């Protein structure tokens, strides 16, 4: 955000928030795609909903705060004030929700034809009605805490993202609201029948809503609906509050974070969702919550669809074919990982490769007498983290274990706090990153000492040390015994321990100090080549203004640029004289395209970096991030092939147009290319090295014509 935007050219940029909404529509589009298995489509509708919830909690919440505290701040990509951005968001969201409603109803109709039926309360009959009534009376009603809202009964606190059944009631000439929370302790669904193939269920909030006339039986019901409040979750981290406490104990910071998280449920509401058309009820609740009319949305689909991951779980015919990450064929299970890494760099490609080789490396290190220390950065750990368990095992075996745990990883704070406490109790040295800078880097260093010789194995990745996401996200994990890389990693951890984030390294690019400058230099190098220059960047988002302008400069110099951007892209391609040599591709598919890759040049002088960092202001300026060069020709070939396949995809890929909207890629007269399905079906090393002397276009053409 900048107050003075006169120096910025807004002709080839767009607003971050509106670009994000376009991305979430891409997710909803997967829910509409007939070739996607039916239950997977329901899950995409759930992902769309969860994404939108987080967007309101974080982005809209932040804009809401800015509209009050810094109302004159101007977005340097669109020239809009916070209030103008909010207005545009409030206008853009209702059509998205109407589209979700149509998608949801269509999916549920098709599921009913396949034997999976959602039953509404007013359709309950016979034995199902008796069973539902019995369950409500015996299992649900005792857990409810209904109340009325009038002059004698104050408005209750409605928790963030909690479902409530509410009704507009009348007693004589008096109008009031009745409301009850849908308890988290109850299952999301009540199954009326479930024999594996034929499933009938009612949502718990629908069951409670249907019984409101019994709960508020002394009143006349005028309207009723399930409602859900979304609150600002953009909590502020104020380091000053811990300045007077004992800095020698991690308990102080963990306790501060725990207290801060509790405040999230009580922050200002930014959105009220009403299931159905209960307009008067919505207006009454909005008034109580201090919301404007445009912050209330009426929808014919559920506000929460996370149950999509459990319903029909046995119906394999309605889900993607089962896929388990593979053990890489070029690694030998019976040979220690450290020995194989010392022979050559190892590159794992999640989720097609299993994370197990890295886990084996950690386990070996925890029990290796020659290992003196393990240092690692941790951003999002799995709830049942093997990584954390092996670090604890290493500490208990006398190794020096340093874990830089980022407690400010949004929505994973509680999990990280718990693991940090357990690791510290086991003897690990736990630190919590730099003041004002989140540590988002993905790096692990194992230090060995044999007699007087020190050696290293360094792992650097694009994704978190999380076993769950490693099976769902596309990411790279590089493991190397390179001495210079190990020395850089050792210096990095030493500097983090003393709070020095301004050091430069011979191989690594580190944000916030020199990554952005390094990327600018690499782009400048391609600019000097003119129309012989080549840049391919794969990232989750592009928002950083200076790098956007540098890419536009490269385009104007004739450099051919492909940007593979899963989510937000504030750079608009194809603007004549500005970005006409830039092409933007977005891929949303079975796996979340999470890896960050920076590729500059062609042929033998090509430079490729894998990184934890997106091209976002926060990543380049307010986080500690790492970009690591890919050092072997074999791995450069692997990654280059992957990038080419991404650009050839015409199933899950969409192109960003000069109008800021996405369109499907052409299939007519071309082989149908689904990059994710290709790597599910084919060995990765074979894919990367087969027919090296054949052009990429011909290779892809042959591969997919063979599959036909």
Q: CA-CA distance, 266 to 259, in Å (whole number)?
A: 12
CB 259 within 8 A of CB 220: no
Encoding tokens for residue 620? 């380049």
635 is catalytic: no
User: Angle CA(620)–CA(621)–CA(622) in degrees, nearest 5?
Assistant: 110
How far is the C-alpha of 200 from the C-alpha of 194, rounded, in Å?
6
Catalytic residue, chosen from 440, 583, 594, 635, is: 440
Spatial distance between the Cα atoms of 699 and 640, rounded to a whole number of angstroms: 13
Phi, psi of 400 (to 5 degrees): -85, 110
3-state secondary structure 472-518: CEEEEEEEECCHHHHHHHHHHHHHHHHCCCCCCCCCCEEECCCHHHH
Q: What is the DSSP string of 517-570?
A: HHHHHHHHHHHTTGGG-EEEEEES-B--HHHHHHHHHHHHTT-EEEEEESS-B-
Rg (CA), the chain: 27
Pairwise CA distance, residues 289 & 503, whole Å: 49
In order of 230, 361, 456, 459, 573, the CA distances from 487 in angstroms are 47, 19, 8, 13, 40
CA distances, 677 to each of 327, 582, 647 (Å)? 18, 27, 14
> Are 261 and 414 a contacting pair, CB within 8 Å?
yes
User: Alpha-carbon distance 17 to 570, whole Å?
Assistant: 9
Q: Confirm if 97 and 308 have CB atoms less than 8 A apart.
A: no
Q: How many CA atoms lie within 13 A of 230 on its CB side?
A: 25
SS3 content of the chain, % helix, strand, coil (to 5): 40, 25, 35
Cα 61 to Cα 230: distance, rounded to the nearest angstrom: 9
Q: What is the rounded distance in angstroms from the CA atom of residue 381 to the CA atom of residue 54?
A: 20
Angle (CA) 76-77-78 rounded to 5° is: 100
Torsion angle in degrees (nearest 10) through CA of 44, 49, 54, 59: 110
For residues 334 and 77, give the distance between their C-alpha atoms in angstroms, rounded to a whole number: 54
Residue 269's beta-bridge partner residues? 231
Gap between the Cα atoms of 564 and 474, Å rounded: 13
Kindly state the helix (H) or strand (E) to which residue 179 belongs, with its residue range.
Answer: strand 174-181
Separation CA 334–CA 364 (nearest Å): 12
Dist CA 608 CA 601 (whole Å): 9
Q: Could you tell me if 471 and 351 are in contact, meaning their C-beta atoms sit under 8 angstroms apart?
A: yes
Helical segments of 576-632, H only: 617-621
DSSP 56: I
For residue 9, give both structure tokens: 């050219």
Burial class (CB in 10 A: 0-12, 13-18, 19+), 671: middle
Q: Return the active site residues.
A: 440
């Amino acid at each position: 955000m900048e107050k003075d935007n006169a120096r910025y050219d807004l002709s080839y940029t767009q607003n971050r928030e509106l670009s994000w909404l376009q991305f979430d529509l891409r997710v909803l589009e997967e829910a509409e795609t007939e070739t996607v298995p039916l239950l997977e489509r329901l899950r995409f509708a759930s992902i769309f909903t969860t994404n939108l919830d987080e967007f309101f909690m974080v982005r809209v919440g932040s804009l809401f705060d800015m509209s009050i505290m810094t109302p004159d701040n101007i977005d340097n990509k669109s020239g809009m004030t916070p209030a103008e951005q909010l207005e545009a968001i409030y206008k853009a969201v209702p059509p998205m929700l109407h589209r979700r409603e149509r998608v949801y109803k269509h999916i549920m109709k098709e599921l009913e034809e396949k034997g999976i039926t959602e039953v509404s309360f007013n359709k309950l009959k016979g034995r199902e009605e008796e069973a539902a009534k019995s369950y409500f009376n015996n299992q649900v009603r005792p857990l409810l805490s209904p109340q009325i809202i009038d002059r004698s009964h104050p408005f209750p606190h409605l928790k963030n993202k909690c479902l409530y059944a509410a009704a507009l009631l009348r007693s004589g000439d008096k109008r009031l609201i009745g409301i009850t929370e849908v308890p988290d302790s109850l299952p999301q669904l009540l199954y009326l029948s479930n024999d594996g193939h034929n499933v009938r269920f009612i949502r718990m909030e629908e069951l409670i809503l249907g019984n409101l006339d019994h709960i508020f039986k002394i009143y006349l019901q005028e309207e009723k609906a399930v409602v859900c409040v979304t609150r600002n979750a953009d909590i502020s981290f104020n380091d000053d509050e811990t300045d007077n406490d004992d800095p020698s104990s991690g308990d102080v910071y963990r306790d501060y974070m725990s207290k801060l998280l509790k405040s999230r449920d009580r922050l200002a509401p930014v959105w009220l969702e009403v299931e159905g058309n209960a307009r008067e009820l919505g207006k009454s609740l909005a008034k109580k919550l201090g919301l404007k009319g445009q912050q209330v949305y009426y929808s014919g689909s559920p506000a929460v669809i996370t149950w999509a991951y459990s319903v029909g779980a046995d119906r394999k015919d309605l889900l993607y074919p089962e896929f388990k990450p593979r053990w890489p064929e070029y690694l030998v299970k019976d040979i220690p990982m450290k020995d194989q890494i010392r022979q050559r760099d190892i590159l794992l490609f999640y989720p097609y490769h299993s994370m197990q080789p890295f886990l084996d490396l950690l386990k070996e290190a925890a029990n290796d007498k020659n290992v003196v220390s393990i240092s690692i950065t941790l951003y999002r750990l799995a709830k049942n983290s093997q990584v954390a368990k092996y670090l604890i095992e290493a500490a208990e075996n006398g190794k020096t274990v340093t874990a830089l745990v980022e407690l400010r990883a949004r929505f994973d704070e509680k999990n990280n706090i718990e693991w940090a406490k357990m690791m510290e109790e086991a003897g690990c040295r736990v630190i919590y990153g730099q003041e004002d800078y989140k540590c988002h880097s993905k790096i692990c260093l194992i230090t060995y000492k044999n007699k007087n010789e020190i050696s290293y194995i360094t792992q650097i990745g694009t994704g978190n040390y999380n076993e769950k996401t490693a099976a769902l996200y596309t990411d790279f994990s590089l493991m190397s015994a390179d001495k210079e890389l190990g020395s850089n990693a050792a210096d990095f951890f030493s500097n983090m321990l003393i709070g020095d984030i301004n050091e430069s390294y011979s191989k690594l690019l580190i944000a916030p100090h020199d990554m952005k400058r390094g990327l600018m230099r690499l782009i400048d190098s391609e600019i000097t080549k003119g129309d012989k220059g080549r840049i391919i960047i794969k990232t989750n988002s592009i928002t950083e203004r200076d790098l956007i302008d540098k890419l536009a400069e490269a385009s104007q110099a004739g450099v051919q640029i492909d940007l593979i951007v899963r989510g937000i892209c504030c750079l608009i391609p194809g603007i004549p004289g500005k970005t006409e040599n830039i092409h933007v591709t977005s891929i949303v598919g079975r796996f979340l395209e999470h890896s960050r890759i920076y590729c500059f040049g062609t042929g033998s002088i090509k430079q490729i970096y894998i990184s934890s960092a997106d091209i976002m202001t926060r990543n380049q300026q307010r986080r500690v991030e790492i970009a690591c060069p890919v050092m072997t020709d074999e791995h450069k070939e692997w990654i280059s092939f992957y990038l080419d396949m991404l650009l050839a995809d015409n199933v899950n890929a969409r192109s960003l147009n000069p109008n800021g909207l996405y369109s499907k890629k052409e299939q007519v007269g071309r082989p149908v290319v689904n990059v994710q399905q290709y790597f599910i079906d084919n060995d990765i090393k074979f894919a990367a090295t087969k027919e090296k002397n054949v052009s990429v276009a011909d290779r892809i053409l042959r591969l997919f014509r063979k599959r036909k």
